[in-house]
Amino acid sequence: MKTVLRVLKDSRAYHRYIWLGIGAIACSTLASLYAPWAMQQLTALITSGDADIASKSLKMGLILLLVYLLQAIFNYIKGYYTHLGAYYYVAELRLAVYDKLQHLSLRFYSDKQTGQLMSYVMNDAGGAERLFAHVFPDLVVHGLTLLAVGFMLFTINVPLALVSLVSVPLIIFANYVYSKRALPLWGKNAKVMAEMSGTLQDNLSGMKEIQAFNQQESEKERMRAVIDKERDAILEAVKTDEFVRPLISFFSSVGLVGVIIYGGYFTSVGQMEVAELVGFTLYLNLFYGPISALSSLNESANMAIASCQRVFDLLDQESEVKELSDARSVSHLAGKIELRRLDFHYHVGQPVLKEIDLIIQPGQTIALVGSTGVGKTTISNLLNRFYDPVAGQILFDDLDLKTMTLGSIRNNISMVLQDTFLFNGTVYENIVYGLKHATKEQTIAAAKAANAHSFITALEDGYETLIGERGLRLSGGQKQRLSIARAILRDTPILIMDEATSALDTETEREIQQALDTISKGRTTVVIAHRLSTIRHADLIVVLDQAQIAELGTHEELIQRGGVYARLCQNQHI
Ligand SMILES: Nc1ncnc2c1ncn2[C@@H]1O[C@H](COP(=O)(O)OP(=O)(O)OP(=O)(O)O)[C@@H](O)[C@H]1O
């Protein structure tokens, strides 16, 4: 019920369409009462031997034609406007879900599959359409029909109307039991559906690996497992549905049986006219229709509520990284970075960083080194505030990161990552991604500085070449150079390079290294590198070992010291 109320509250802007639809439904329901009444009148005329049957039936027929025409118009208004409101609301909900996903911290994503999250936007948000355009209007149609037809039944014959009501409590009870059982089943079904979409998305993204490792059979089995799971979940829900639907039909028939027995008796003892019995039976069909429909309506409602519930659960998720209400926007930092007694872990009991103390002066280039998995990338994630430290502080220009707006922190940092993500667009669009208002001259200058201009101009459409999903049409080195150009263009006081030159050949690496050395001048640069040859000129080398800073100094100082760094250099023949 809470979910339904929330849908109603959130969709206020579109209620006018619902009201228009409901108005049309009310008119259509009233119009539907005419046909049984006309049949009753016609039967009365026939049984009474009226001399003017022909002209009277012509008149009734023409009125009925008009009534049907009006009903068609009302149904169009109801169908179109309720869907209009529904799809506007669904679009709003989809955007809200997407926006929420954009603002959740990276920890939220660590145990989710992309396809699973897509299911929130694609499938679950659509549940609101079912509620808005089907469940709510149908509830009104059926409710109004029950009231109006019930009134007609009691007007025709009170004892017979009471007999026909015998099955109503049974039908309501069956519906109640059904909804109790079916709601969790439809909820489970939506979850399994998301799992299936997650696995599918995962496999489609990794198709190259599947083929290269000849894993088609095992992946087919993995897909089979989730597809079967989805099939079983839906069948479990359908089993309940298909049991209840005939049961409700049966209960409705019990009422009709009573009406036939008692109706026949009442007519035989003169308590009821034949015409009244005909009219009564026709109205009764209209009466049981909505009661039976309640069960399928229940099914739709349960599915829709389960989907909406999942959407609202996501919308209510709190981001782990929260911006303070009075967070200040910092325009251009000088670039001093301080880590103060910093502790961090992804999972409790598995510390990744312990009591890290580090001061980086504006304009300095520092290198983070250490064996794989020691926490170098984690530090860059913390500087971007993708995560918050478990203890300790990060300060930019002596201000705690938490007191700044997330937008302004990230406006001061450029990243060049080891796994560059490019969007499906043109080369140009990808370079200006972080600075949409850059001029063409600035963009080309950045591309030149990143040693990307010559390969870009050699592409079939130059800067306007479409690079395909995730830059599929570019080589690793070309992608990396676009990512460097992107960072150069942003011209931020802080630059983070995580294995920035890893995908380049030695010659290109040397050229890009020169470009990087040039752009790192005058800005604070944090370099994460495995190839120690690339960082020997850094102002400060920070050696991480066992979650702590093991050594700190320049290349020469650390070599002289003969510790962890010296050993790493020895291993790389430096
Ligand atoms: N999202 C995550 N959830 C859980 N654990 C994580 C996550 N990201 C990293 N880790 C773990 O945290 C530790 C530090 O990872 P990090 O990526 O910072 O290391 P790194 O030094 O940058 O490694 P590499 O040099 O291989 O890139 C590793 O043990 C890693 O498995």
Q: Ligand 1 centroid to 391 CA: how many Å?
A: 18
Q: What is the pLDDT of residues 149-189, one digit of tens each?
A: 899 999 999 999 998 888 888 887 887 777 777 778 877 88
Global ipTM: 0.96
Alpha carbon distance 439, 461 (integer Å): 19
Q: Tokens for 441?
A: 């001259």
400 CB contacts (<8 Å, ≥6 apart)? 393, 394
Task: Report CA(417)–ligand 1 centroid distance (Å).
Answer: 14
pLDDT, tens digit, 9 for 90 and up, residues 227-265: 999 999 889 888 887 888 788 778 878 888 888 899 999
Task: Give the distance (Å) from ligand 1 centre to CA of residue 6.
Answer: 40
Among 35-39, 461-465, 527-531, the minimum mean pLDDT is found in 527-531
pLDDT in tens, 313-331: 999 998 888 888 899 998 8
- DSSP codes joined into one string, 146-161: HHHHHHHHHHH-HHHH
User: Ligand 1 mean position to 373 CA, how many Å?
Assistant: 5
Q: Is the CB of 49 under 6 A from ligand 1?
A: no
Sheet holding 524-528, edge to edge: 413-416, 494-498, 524-528, 365-369, 540-545, 548-553
Nearest C-alpha to atom 6 of ligand 1 is from which residue? 346
Distance from Cα 39 to the centre of ligand 1, integer Å: 78
- Measured CA to CA, the distance from residue 227 to residue 432 in angstroms comes to 41
pLDDT range class, residue 500, cuts 50, 70, 90: low
Measuring from atom 16 of ligand 1, which residue has the nearest CA? 375
Cα–Cα distance measured from residue 242 to residue 535, given in angstroms and rounded to the nearest whole number: 69
- For the ranges 84-88, 218-222, 247-251, 260-264, the lowest mean pLDDT is seen at 247-251
Give the pairing type, strands 365-369 and 540-545: parallel
Answer whether 380's CB lies under 8 Å from 394's CB.
Answer: no
Q: Give the model's pLDDT for residue 517.
A: 75
Alpha-carbon span 67 to 73, nearest angstrom: 10
CA-nearest residue for atom 31, ligand 1, is 373
Cα gap 113→199, rounded to integer Å: 8
Q: pLDDT category, 535, cuts 50, 70, 90?
A: confident
Q: Is 378 in the pocket of ligand 1 (CB under 6 A)?
A: yes
pLDDT at 295: 63
pLDDT at residue 472 in the model = 67
Helix-strand-coil percent breakdown of the chain, rounded to 5?
Answer: 65, 10, 20
CA–centroid distance, residue 379 to ligand 1 (Å): 10
What is the reported pLDDT for 134? 86
For residue 503, pLDDT over 70 is answered with no
Which amino acid is it at 61?
G
CA–CA distance, 474 with 420 (Å, rounded to integer): 11
Alpha-carbon span 517 to 525, nearest angstrom: 10
**Cα–Cα dist 516/220, whole Å:** 45
Minimum CA distance residue for ligand 1 atom 25: 372
Strands (E), 430-488: none
| 393: region left, alpha or beta (phi > 0 left; psi from -120 to 50 alpha) | beta
Stated as kind and residue range, the H or E segment containing 293 is: helix 274-315
d(CA 519, CA 450): 10
Atom index in ligand 1 nearest the CA of residue 375 equals 18
In tens, the pLDDT along 401-412 reads 999 999 899 999
Cβ neighbours, 10 Å, residue 496: 24
Q: What is the DSSP string of 382-427?
A: HHTTSS--SEEEEEETTEEGGGB-HHHHHHTEEEE-SS----SSBH
What the block records as the tokens of 374 is 């020691």
Query: What percentage of the chain exceeds 90 in pLDDT?
Result: 38
Question: What is this structure's pTM?
Answer: 0.78
Q: Please state, in angstroms and rounded to a whole number, the distance separating the CA atoms of residues 389 and 379.
A: 10
Distance 376 CA to ligand 1 centre (A): 8
Report pLDDT digits (tens) over 123-134: 888 888 888 888
Which amino acid is located at 30 in the chain? Answer: L
Residue 275 in contact with ligand 1 by CB distance below 6 A: no
The confidence band for 138, taking pLDDT boundaries of 50, 70 and 90, is: confident
Query: Which of 165, 76, 91, 153 lies closest to 122 in space, CA to CA?
Result: 91
Rounded to an integer, the average pLDDT of 369-391 is 91
